[in-house]
Structure 1
Amino acid sequence: MPDKKKNELSVAIIGAGLGGVAAAVNLKRAGISSFTIFEQSAGPGGTWWDNTYPGAECDIPIAFYAYSFKPHDWARTHASQAEIQSYIQSAIDDYDIGPNLRFNTRVTDAVWDDQRHLYTLTTAAGERMTFNVVISALGLLNVPRYPDWPGLERFRGPKFHTARWEHQHDLAGKDVIVVGIGSTAAQVVPAVAKIAGKVTMFAREPAYVMPKNERDLTADERKRLGTRWGRLRERARLFWNIERGMSVRNPDSKRQKDTRAAFMRYRDQVFQGRPDLIEKLTPDYPFACKRPVGSTDFFPALTRENVEVVPRAVVSVTPDGVVDHAGVEHRGDVLVMATGFQPWNFLANLNLVGRGGRRIHGVWGDEPDAFLGIQVAGFPNFFMLYGPNTNYFCVTFMLERQAEFIARALKRMIRTDSTAIEVRRSVMDVYNRWVDRALSRKTLEGNCNNYYHTATGKNVVTWPWRGTVYLLATRIGGLASFTRRVGEDKTRTRFEPGRATAKGSAPHPATAKPEAAPAPGKKAEALDA
């Protein structure tokens, strides 16, 4: 039976994607069952709920991309969007998380009350609730990046972002314009080219593309992966391959040279007899400067007669098409924006207010940072999943480590009868200087356009080391936090359970005027911890 005190700790989880579900499972494993998951969509899955474009699937072997705690009989080496979304739902069912879920509920504000050590959450509908702890599982790729092309509103045909695919449009026989050459475009173009009259793809900057070699699993492989030992061994094998490959980020490494050579061989094989495509699609920056694309059918699709590659950026839109950087207009019936997301824009849709009435975006300015991407000094009892500088090869690996870290932190609060836990500012600052120095020596800082940097040029997205380093850091990182109790650290007050209140029935706990965001490129003054 769970300890009574554990049930008194109320937790709000914002987001029901891979991260939110991992957090919920780890809380239940820790004996903490009083939590609510708020999800703005009508169902679970996060990015796997939103991204339903043709060809959507993971580009990492599913044996490693899946949860370590949730076995599944996968039919192929890589899973489709629908399969992954269904898998997340099955994890919710297996761990009986359904009763804790609230769909179609968007949390807009989370405000800390340092007198009671509680957060007041406000939803878009105006409902207010209090919780002891808030966990943000909003994800890294949840805010689409829409271009600001002049004339976009005048385009006469259907126009939409890949993360908001409009399935009501029949693309058969249509001239489709796809803008982008990232992982999403690499899945959309081959799928659409099979039915469209013509596909015009705009590739402002070529990407490194390597085949992911997806295939059906054999009966023997599925049987082996159906055992605990078989799954562990396969996950360990895939993890080791990923860890070895991380040395490619060293611009002078042998793996960097070998990987670029492998790309050239693959490019020459697929584009044999097409020197025009070789010229358009060969990067002039180091491998891994931007996220490599894993796709077996993308490059072959570009050789189709009904596909044209334009190696220039779009600068404006006309009623009947788009105009590229050279001033050439390209006509089309449908405009698909595979223009990615805003991963540097952490907590973009959440107004988080911490100690002293300070807003997280005012404290961060243009350079978000956090300890292990999980905790921010000055924001007690608040945790993030996949926060600043935690983008690693496999998101699920990082999410599980973060969910485990959070569960340990909450168990520590319960064990010490504390009402608040917070990372020390001094430790957080040293940690982030360590990260910045490491990133400065990686290919990620090369001469390419990637989604890792803010307007100031700071890389706030990428984890610079191997996954084993992060695993160890999250194991010992809890020592960087200090705990407090209500009443200036003296009163041994137990948790006041968070509870929902009627709309407008309770005063807002933040009475201090929030600080304004600093000017672009400047860092707000650090909070004392």
Structure 2
Amino acid sequence: MRVAIIGAGLGGIAAAVKLRKLTSATFVIYEQSPGVGGTWFDNRYPGCEVDIHSHAYSYSFLRYDWPRTHATQPELLAYAEHVVDRFGLRPHLRLNTRVTDLVWEESTSTYRLQTEHGESAEYDVVISALGLLNVPRYPDWPGLDTFAGPCFHTSRWEEHDLTGKSVAVVGTGSTAVQVVPAIAPAAGQVYVFQRQPGWIEAKHEREFTPRERWVYRHVPLAQRLHRARIFHQGNRRFRGYDVNSGHQQRMRAGCENFIAEAIDDPATRAAVTPDYPWGCKRPVISSTFYPSLNSDNVELVPHAVSRVTPTGVVDATGRTRDVDVLILSTGFQPTRFLAGVDVKGRDGRSIHDAWRERASAFLGITVPGFPNFFILYGPNTNGGTSIIAQLERQADVAVRAVRRLERSRKRSVDTSPVAARRFVDWIDRRMATSASAMNAGCHNYYHDAAGHNVTQWPAGHFTYALATKLVSRLGLKTAR
């Protein structure tokens, strides 16, 4: 079997490792960036680090000597490089190569793959590991293109000396809460523009002690038990997403207590307190953002940006603040799955046409009419404690399908439309009482233009692991 993997982030790496260990397939990993790591290669802003515990935000098949409870961007990039070398994946990499087109050939049961360089190749199976949060969302504020100073998105960070400068950071999501504490000590003034507050929980990050690191290195069961405990806590945490649960109230009360303890100014405390349920949008994990708002040179602006001038930013009340540097922490376009790649399945139908009304996939992995094509981090798979664990389970489904094709005389595996519809119906039923429902009163990135929640997995990782192990075969049928 010839397999193409699109993307050398942590999803693509997981798929490659499992293909190498469990099949005899040959494979090529296409990556548009100059290096591996995916989002941890692209995002290099100050303070960049993961908000999931390191022992959960890593592969189950490899014990690793993490120095901290929550890995920084350089540490995560080093981890990706380590896994690539540990499992001999480097010869399979095609860096600086973006895949643009995939066309299913019914007569040969293969995909014709094309790259931006005009190269063409044929593969029996394609695994897309393009990620979810990789297409920046740029605002359409009037005057943005007239700003005279440095202006950039956090995922496209530009190095500038911010010493003594007046800096505007627009947004208070997971990225902004890392950027602000990191740049505030050097900047002369930092304005933090907040369209809507988010629920923030303390991170409790720290260095592992030498003794802890020794135990995790030399006692094989220690890291596994710690990982299991993290996932157990994550499963319990998911109870809070039910707006009618007592756990919802406890999560909200914990965040309110954190606000009261960490922020000095009563007006600022009121401004950062949301009026919607916990979990309506992705909870932010940070121990340092709230304390940074106590600094004399940091000002929270609890208003959206309305327009930009050549020298400043105007908020929704009409007030202008002069700034030297404008940093956009305005999120991504997560509902644009497979952006930049045109995938054509049976009868020449584009996957983007199939998703015209709603992006959906069976278990978030396969789409009816697109044989031998697997998606990692597809629709409704975000969440579940750790995305790395989710990606591993998705890679398992793809690799098991490759093994089935290797061992049988069949040439393709496709998805039952009935199974795909039932999966989407189940997602919608589970989401009906979730805090992330459209009528919960917050702005989140979960929903498409029609109001469908197309990004979130509505349960913990254990539920997803069982579904991918026990249910996947019911929806995937081999043919020919």
Please classify the TM superposition score into its range, dividing by the shorter chain length: over 0.9
Alignment partner, residue 475 of structure 1: 469
**C-alpha deviations, 1:472-503, integer Å up to 9, x for none?**
11002123111122xxxxxxxxxxxxxxxxxx
Alignment partner, residue 31 of structure 1: 23
**C-alpha deviations, 1:285-341, integer Å up to 9, x for none?**
000111111111110001110011111111211101111111111210000000111
**C-alpha deviations, 1:454-485, integer Å up to 9, x for none?**
01111000001121111111002123111122
Gaps spanning 5+ residues in structure 1: where?
A: 1-8, 486-529
Say yes or no: does 1:153 pair with 2:145: yes
Q: Which amino acid aligns with 2:455?
A: V
Q: TM-score with structure 2 length normalisation?
A: 0.98
Of 110, 115, 120, which aligns to 2:112? 120
The SS at the match of 1:458 is coil
Tell me by how many angstroms 1:126 deviates.
0.9
Aligned length: 475
Say yes or no: does 1:484 pair with 2:476: no
Contact 2:57–2:389 (CA<8 Å) still a contact in 1? yes
Contact 1:366–1:454 (CA<8 Å) still a contact in 2? no
Say yes or no: does 1:425 pair with 2:388: no
Say yes or no: does 1:232 pair with 2:220: no
The SS at the match of 1:422 is strand
Q: Which has the larger radius of gyration?
A: 1
Of 283, 296, 305, which aligns to 2:274? 283
Q: TM-score with structure 1 length normalisation?
A: 0.89
Give the root-mean-square deviation of aligned CA atoms: 0.9
Q: Distance in 2 between matches of 1:435 and 1:296?
A: 33
Q: Distance in 1 between matches of 2:473 and 2:297?
A: 56
Contact 2:144–2:309 (CA<8 Å) still a contact in 1? yes
Tell me by how many angstroms 1:32 deviates.
3.0
Alignment partner, residue 48 of structure 1: 40
**C-alpha deviations, 1:202-227, integer Å up to 9, x for none?**
01000111111011111221122112
Alignment partner, residue 367 of structure 1: 358
Gaps spanning 5+ residues in structure 2: where?
A: none
Q: Which amino acid aligns with 1:197?
A: G
Q: Distance in 2 between matches of 1:417 and 1:58?
A: 44
Give the ranges of 4+ consecutive aligned residues of structure 1 lying more than 6 Å apart after TM superposition: none
Say yes or no: does 1:454 pair with 2:419: no
Q: Which amino acid aligns with 1:70?
A: L
Q: Distance in 2 between matches of 1:416 and 1:40?
A: 34
Alignment partner, residue 74 of structure 2: 82
Alignment partner, residue 214 of structure 1: 205
Alignment partner, residue 300 of structure 2: 309
Tell me by how many angstroms 1:435 deviates.
0.7
Q: Distance in 1 between matches of 2:36 and 2:147?
A: 33
**C-alpha deviations, 1:73-96, integer Å up to 9, x for none?**
111111100100110010000000
Q: Distance in 2 between matches of 1:114 and 1:160?
A: 44
Alignment partner, residue 57 of structure 1: 49
Contact 2:235–2:459 (CA<8 Å) still a contact in 1? no
Contact 2:23–2:402 (CA<8 Å) still a contact in 1? no
Tell me by how many angstroms 1:253 deviates.
1.1
Q: Distance in 2 between matches of 1:383 and 1:263?
A: 38
Report the identity percentage.
48
Q: Which amino acid aligns with 1:138?
A: L
The SS at the match of 1:64 is coil
Contact 1:26–1:407 (CA<8 Å) still a contact in 2? yes
Tell me by how many angstroms 1:417 deviates.
1.9
Tell me by how many angstroms 1:366 deviates.
4.3
The SS at the match of 1:421 is strand
Tell me by how many angstroms 1:33 deviates.
4.0
Cα distance 1:434–1:413, how it changes in 2: closer, same or farther (>3 A)?
A: same
Contact 2:143–2:309 (CA<8 Å) still a contact in 1? yes
